[in-house]
Amino acid sequence: MDLRDQRGIETEVYQPAEDSELLAEAACGYLDKHGRDGPEATILEVGTGSGYVANRVADETAARVIASDLNPHAVRQARSDGSEEGSGRGGAVETVRADLVSPFADDTFDAVLFNPPYLPTEPENEWDDWMEHALSGGEDGRAVIDPFLAAVGRVLAPDGVVYLLVSSLTGVDEVVERAGEEGFSAVAIADESFPFETLTVLELHY
């Protein structure tokens, strides 16, 4: 019996945890504060996983919310409503199966949210399934964050912002520096400490 059977749940999709909650809370608060929560606003969540964060934003703002993920199981769950059971109401979030921001038009989003895979993982410990994709950030924890930072500017509207969750395990300073190389200024808008890591939400803007 494998872990999936023991837990009796879907383990192909990362389920909401403290990091998801922190990102959802911080992003909703700041979207409201900066008037990016109206019906004209278009918001993207990259790597949405269960869809929890995207659905929270859709519930708490009037914005149009798009959610994308590489994982077909994730986009299906995000589309149903973000819960494992699915409430059947569905439809608040528009979903796309995508690699980061590659299939979106230039200058489109007022905000892009991302809770990336960030755990530093030695190559010999990579385990090669959808959960690994959801968690592992490669050797330095930034294997997905760096290409995201390089690409996200293209799809941001003028005055658009990025809300990026970063862990102390990945290195907040390193991510801020990398973002700076791509032309972004970074401000920490929320953080929360846990026994093994501190989670920070960065707001990035040009």
Partner 1 sequence: MKESLLDILRCPLDKHELELEDATYDESVDGDSDDGEDAAEVVDGTLVCSECGERYPIEDGIPNLLPPDMQEESPA
Residue 61: alpha-carbon gap to chain centroid: 17
Residue 68 and residue 60: Cα distance in Å, rounded? Answer: 19
Q: Which is nearer to partner 1, 55 or 200 (CB)?
A: 55
Q: Are 117 and 137 in contact (CB under 8 A)?
A: yes
Output the smallest distance, CB 27 to partner 1, in A. 19
Residue 42 and residue 186: Cα distance in Å, rounded? Answer: 21
Q: Which residues bind partner 1 (CB under 8 A)?
A: 42, 66, 70-72, 75-76, 79, 94-99, 102-106, 108, 128-130, 132-133
Q: Which is nearer to partner 1, 76 or 205 (CB)?
A: 76
Output the smallest distance, CB 139 to partner 1, in A. 18
Q: Which is nearer to partner 1, 33 or 97 (CB)?
A: 97
Output the smallest distance, CB 76 to partner 1, in A. 7
What's the token pair of residue 58?
Answer: 């859709």
Output the smallest distance, CB 62 to partner 1, in A. 13
Q: Are 54 and 33 in contact (CB under 8 A)?
A: no
Q: Are 196 and 167 in contact (CB under 8 A)?
A: no
Q: Which is nearer to partner 1, 92 or 189 (CB)?
A: 92
Please name the helix (run of DSSP H) or strand (run of DSSP E) that holds residue 56, with its range, or none.
helix 52-60
Residue 167 and residue 36: Cα distance in Å, rounded? Answer: 25
Q: Which is nearer to partner 1, 4 or 97 (CB)?
A: 97
Output the smallest distance, CB 192 to partner 1, in A. 30
What's the token pair of residue 29?
Answer: 């608060």
